[in-house]
Amino acid sequence: KQEVTQIPAALSVPEGENLVLNCSFTDSAIYNLQWFRQDPGKGLTSLLLIQSSQREQTSGRLNASLDKSSGRSTLYIAASQPGDSATYLCAAPQGAQKLVFGQGTRLTINP
């Protein structure tokens, strides 16, 4: 059974800082891993999907890495902005199509 843990649960940093969000998963037999963003009262927006054959995936100021052997993924946000404030969720598959989510990291960027 897949279990996903995200640390920290909440993070508050000043604008402009680089930061790292952590995700760990127990079943490393995964095909991919997905990072989402969720704004208050809204649905989930897919940020990055990393295939198991990749080690990194980049989109703008976001970079996600995947280390299957250690069961870890990180989301790196460069030059953070107040608009980056949201909850970030990591999700790893269990079996073919079921996604198991972590509890999320609530990120606040202070101007």
Interaction site with other proteins (CB under 8 A):
4, 31-32, 34, 36, 41-46, 49, 51-52, 89, 91, 93, 96-99, 101-104
Of 55 and 79, nearer to other proteins (C-beta) is: 55
Of 15 and 101, nearer to other proteins (C-beta) is: 101
Of 18 and 98, nearer to other proteins (C-beta) is: 98
3-class DSSP state of 110:
strand
Which residues make Cβ contacts (< 8 Å) with residue 34, sequence separation at least 6?
A: 46, 48, 49, 50, 90, 91, 92, 99
Which residues make Cβ contacts (< 8 Å) with residue 97, sequence separation at least 6?
A: none
CB of 20 to other proteins, least distance (A): 19
CB of 15 to other proteins, least distance (A): 25
CB of 109 to other proteins, least distance (A): 20
Of 17 and 42, nearer to other proteins (C-beta) is: 42
Exposed e or buried b per residue across 72-92, where buried means at least 16 C-beta atoms within 10 angstroms of its C-beta? bbbbebeebeeebbbbbbbbb
